[in-house]
Every structure is written in structure tokens, then in C-alpha cells.
Structure 1
Amino acid sequence: MLLRLSHWLLILSLSATSCLAATGELRYPRAPLGEEFRPRYPLALLQLALDKAGSPLRIKPSRHHMEQDRALLNLEQGTAVDVVWTMTSIEREQRLLPVRIPIDKGLYGWRVAFVRKNRSELLNNINSLAELRQLRAGQGHDWPDTDILRHHGLPVEVSSSYDSLFLMLRADRFDYFPRAVLEARDELAHINASDLVMDRHLVLHYPTALYFFFARERPELAETVRQGLELAIADGSFEALFQRYHAADLALAHLQQRQVIELSNPLLPPLTPLQRPELWYRP
């Protein structure tokens, strides 16, 4: 019985591979309305990796817009999408197959904060974790960052809606909204944020990585992208693409001039390639 089941699963896997090859498409989650600016860099890097690996696949958005939770579930179930990029965690690496090359160079673990403009100096005199615990952060209810902050005793208010977090900040439901340094500039440019500013004084740092994830049944896709990324790192095209999209983000953030509060990450998987310095940003 087990032999027949294994044979059937193998046939299904080969059938899915043949279908993907026939269509020549690698489906990614279509960004929610108003957030189309977000995936520009990951998509450019994904296509670069496919090209470097000599793959004929071309990336294509899913039919429907997807929030992160839905995209991860569809990927796990093998429906609607073939790849998702997201912050890693032990739980996510158990469910899905990561390509352990941080496409963000670890900068999703460098967090600057949005604050209300009339409280722009709120974080000016925050120099320790104990002092930061006196303030309330805002985060998504299912974001790994929420658990990381709470692990360190930081008060966090949550929402299931990304857009509502900006409304909550404006309404004084929390004091500051930590954002990855690679996100902050674009977000301020694309939302109606005239009453919000990026704090200039503080940065939170914890080790984490943004990976491309695939279904565990699709190791050949993960291996293709891994090989392509390694080739792009070796020939400098990874770094060139990263700088094209994110040099302005780093220039605006002035990370070297900020007070750094270091946090550990209890969700960090043990196979995170911290031993490879070429994969990580160092301020």
C-alpha cells in the first residue's frame, strides 16, 4: 500500500513539473491593491536568478491579489502560486522549502520607526531596551516581528490589516511603527503620510532573512533559484541589482548615525547561513 502511495505521489509531482515546464511560468502572489510597488526588487531578483540558472521560466502574478497568510497557505497546498518571498522563521521552514540566501541581505532585521510628525523626537532619548518598553509598537498580527518584539517584553498592538496600522498610529493606539529599512522610504512615498515621519534616532536590529520559499514538493524549483542566486552573487549582478533598488533606502536611513538596540531572534532557524558574511549587510 505504501509503495503504491509513493508511486502515485511521484506521478503527481512529475505531472506538476511537466505542467510548469509546459506553461513556462512561475507564479508569484499578486500584491494587494495599492501595494504594487512592494515586489519590484524581489521580482527582478527572482527573474535574474532564473536567467542565471539558464531556466526558461518567466514569472507571472497570480490571478487574484493575496495577503501574506493566503499566499503562504496556497504555496503550501500547491495551488495558485509557486513561490513566495517572506521573512523566515522556524515554523515557516518546517512548512515550506527555503532557499537560504537572504535576498534582503538581512536588512529586514534592521527596523526604523514611523512616528507621528508632532512626536518626531519621541525616540530621541531612547538608549536601551528598558526605556523602549515604556512605549507601544504596532505590528501585523501574523508577522514574525511581533513575536520577536514581545519576546523582549516590548508592548505590541496588532492588526490583521496593514492599512489599519497607519490609522492606529495616527489615532494614538500605539506610539511607533517599526518598518524594515528597505520598506520605509517607499511606504512614505506611496501612502498619504503627511502627518507621519521616519524617526531619525533609533534602529532595532535582530538577525533574520527574507528568503524565496517553495512548496516542499518542488525541490527542483528551489534548487534552480538557489543556483541562479549563487551565480549572481559570484559575478556581482546580485549586488548591482540590490544597489539599484535599495541604495537610496540605505542613504536615507543613516544607520551609522542611529542608536542601535540589539535584539535576539527566538524564531531564527538553526540553518540560517550567518557564517557567510558575503550574504549580509554590514553598516
Structure 2
Amino acid sequence: MRAYTARSEKLLRLVNDNRVQLFPRGVAELEAEASVVRSLYPQMLLDPHLLIVYPFAGFFYVAPENTELAAAIQTGFERVIADGSYQRLVEEAIMTPWLRRQLKLRSRRILVLQNPEVAEVLADVNPAHWIVPWNDLLSGRITSGNDLCSSSGLKRICVK
């Protein structure tokens, strides 16, 4: 299998022209690209049945000697998780009402892709820091959107 990179408009065209069968997108990309899809490829649609997930994380990096900054970032992050403002940010900035309506997360089958390149690093991440319950996804305890919507942090982002 070959992999290519290009601007999303070009890759969407490949799907539209049946040159490729799939153009996976991250949930954070869907809303921003929706107007392009509507205007250029109105017959194209988001697959309503499948959600492909794989472990991925963003990290804060600081200079090794800047322990004060590292501690401040960690303390701040722990506080926003504890007070619920991190969850609210995810719900407002990423899982917008538009995205919740489009995803219809409850009705999707989940396909979990392993990410061996980062497995060792991600194993040390505190499970409370994940937006989604990766341990349950990777172990196979969550296999459907309905299962995913039952997890405590995701209940509010799932359309009933």
C-alpha cells in the first residue's frame, strides 16, 4: 500500500473521482472541511457506520532545566481536569453541536488501530488525561459508539 500527502481538497477530489476509497479525517478536521465538501463535492458523505480510532497524544515540552515551568504546566493541567474546565473545553471547542449531530457517535462501530510507535510513551500517561478511554478501547472493552458514549467523560458529547 502506498501513502501520499497533499492538501485536503486534493485528497477529497481523489475520493470523489473514485481514485481512492477512503480519506480518514480526525474529528477536529471535519467541521472545518465541511464547507469545502458541500461546495465542491456535494454528493460525498461522511461514513455513518464506522469510527476509526488510534492512540495519539499531544505533549508539552520544556527545556530539561526549566523544572519550574514543567511543574506549573502539570499543576495547571491537573487543576483543569479536576475542576471540569478541561472537559468543557473539549466539548465546546472540539465536539461542537455541529460535530455531535454529524457523528451520531452512538450508532457507530469502532475500529481500533494500534499505534506501536507510541505505545511505550502512551502507557505512562495518566488515564484521567485522555479525552477518550484508551485503555478500554485498546483492550477491546469498548467496541461501539454506544459503549464509548457510556464512558463518563463522553456522555455529554453524544447525541441521544
* TM-score, normalised via structure 1 length: 0.39
CA contact (8 A) 2:9 2:36 kept: no
Amino acid at match of 1:239: Q
User: Which protein is richer in strand relative to its size?
Assistant: 1
Amino acid at match of 1:264: Q
Q: Residue 33 of structure 2 corresponds to which residue in structure 1?
A: 187
Amino acid at match of 1:281: V
Q: Residue 197 of structure 1 corresponds to which residue in structure 2?
A: 45
Equivalent residue of 2:55, what SS? Answer: coil
The one of 228, 234, 245 equivalent to 2:82 is: 234
Q: In the superposition, relative to structure 1, how do residues 260 and 279 fare at CA in structure 2: closer, same or farther (>3 Å)?
A: closer
Equivalent residue of 1:270, what SS? Answer: helix
Q: Residue 4 of structure 2 corresponds to which residue in structure 1?
A: 158
Q: Distance in 2 between matches of 1:256 and 1:156?
A: 32
Q: In the superposition, relative to structure 1, how do residues 167 and 217 fare at CA in structure 2: closer, same or farther (>3 Å)?
A: farther
Q: How many residues align?
A: 128
CA contact (8 A) 1:203 1:259 kept: yes
Task: Give how far 1:163 is off.
Answer: 3.5
Query: Deviation digits for residues 58-89 of structure 1, max 9, x if unmatched?
Result: xxxxxxxxxxxxxxxxxxxxxxxxxxxxxxxx
Task: Give how far 1:157 is off.
Answer: 3.8
Q: Residue 279 of structure 1 corresponds to which residue in structure 2?
A: 130
Q: Residue 23 of structure 2 corresponds to which residue in structure 1?
A: 177
CA contact (8 A) 1:205 1:260 kept: yes
The one of 114, 118, 136 equivalent to 1:264 is: 114
Equivalent residue of 1:186, what SS? Answer: helix
- Structure 2: runs of 5+ lacking an equivalent: 134-147, 149-160
Query: Deviation digits for residues 199-248 of structure 1, max 9, x if unmatched?
Result: 10111122222x14436467455543333222111111111121112142
Q: Distance in 1 between matches of 2:2 and 2:101?
A: 28
The one of 205, 209, 214 equivalent to 2:61 is: 214
Task: Give how far 1:190 is off.
Answer: 5.0
Q: Residue 153 of structure 2 corresponds to which residue in structure 1?
A: none
Amino acid at match of 2:61: F
Q: Residue 25 of structure 1 corresponds to which residue in structure 2?
A: none
Amino acid at match of 2:77: L
- Structure 1: runs of 5+ lacking an equivalent: 1-154
CA contact (8 A) 1:206 1:264 kept: yes
Moved over 4 A (4+): 215-223
User: Which protein is richer in helix relative to its size?
Assistant: 2
CA contact (8 A) 1:181 1:250 kept: no
Identity of aligned residues (%): 24
Q: Which stretch of structure 1 is more off in the superposition, 167-176 or 234-243?
A: 167-176
Task: Give how far 1:262 is off.
Answer: 2.2
Amino acid at match of 2:80: A
What value does the CA root-mean-square deviation take over the aligned residues?
Answer: 2.8
